[in-house]
Amino acid sequence: MQLRSHPATPMPQVKALEFALSRTDDGGVEAYFECCCGAGALRLPHARPAAAADALWRHTCCELFVGVAGDAAYREFNCSPSGQWAIYDFSAYRVRDPSNQIIDGSAPRIGFATSAAGWTLQARLSAAALPRAAAGEIELGVAAVLEAADGGMSYWALRHAAARPDFHRRESFVLRLSDLT
| Predicted pLDDT of residue 101 | 66
Q: 120 lies in which domain range?
A: 2-179
Strand locations in 43-168 (E): 61-68, 74-79, 85-92, 95-96, 109-115, 118-125, 138-147, 153-157
* Residue 1, pLDDT score: 94
Give me the CATH number covering residue 159: 2.60.40.1190
Mean pLDDT by groups of 10 residues along the chain of 181 residues: 97 97 92 95 95 95 95 95 95 89 79 95 93 77 97 97 95 90 67
Question: Distance (Å, rounded) from C-alpha 181 to C-alpha 29?
Answer: 10
Write out the E strands in the chain.
Answer: 2-5, 14-23, 29-37, 61-68, 74-79, 85-92, 95-96, 109-115, 118-125, 138-147, 153-157, 175-176
Confidence at residue 180, expressed as pLDDT on a 0 to 100 scale: 82
The residues that bridge with 139 in the sheet, in sequence order, are: 67, 176
Residue type, 163: A
> pTM of this prediction?
0.94
Q: How far apart are CA 83 and CA 51, in angstroms?
A: 7
According to the model, what pLDDT value does residue 35 have? 98
Q: Which residues pair with 95 in a beta bridge?
A: 92
- Residue 86 sits at φ, ψ, to 5 deg, of -145, 145
Number of structural domains the chain divides into: 1
